[in-house]
Amino acid sequence: MTDDFEGEFGRLEILDYTAFGRLIADWAMDRKPWPESLEEFKSIVEPDIARVPPRMKAIHVVQPNQEIFYLRLPPKKMITRSLERFAERDKKGSGPRYQVPPFYADMVCGDEALTHTDFFLSRVADYTISICM
């Protein structure tokens, strides 16, 4: 397992961005009831759509309306760690490249033929789980 999945900063790993985005869209549009517990969420997404890191103990589903702006702040420890890690890489002038989900390159570079709907759903999946890493 990678550092991005394990440990106190482990993040949810999406294995199929389009499928995960479709789930989010279905929940948002009331096509399916959203999960009421982390165990229910895991039963829906694991093992083929996403993996939930061991550090996650609960789920909190929020759906704002178009009149409310939700300013979602990243956990203090995570943003601090990420800024320190990237500053170190900047100082060295080297290190692993900043990771973005592969579907961005697929759409921008044309490496894989994504429909506009699949790209949109993949983006929904990405920004739903994105956090400062």
Distance of CA 86 to the CA centre of its chain: 19
Give the model's pLDDT for residue 115: 87
Residue 110 gets the label, from left (phi > 0), alpha (psi -120 to 50) or beta, of left
Could you report the per-residue pLDDT of 101-121, keeping only the tens digit for each?
A: 888 887 777 766 788 899 899
Q: Quick one: which H or E segment has residue 51?
A: strand 50-51
- What residues of the chain score a pLDDT lower than 50? 1-2
Closest CA to 110 of 119, 121, 97, 120: 119
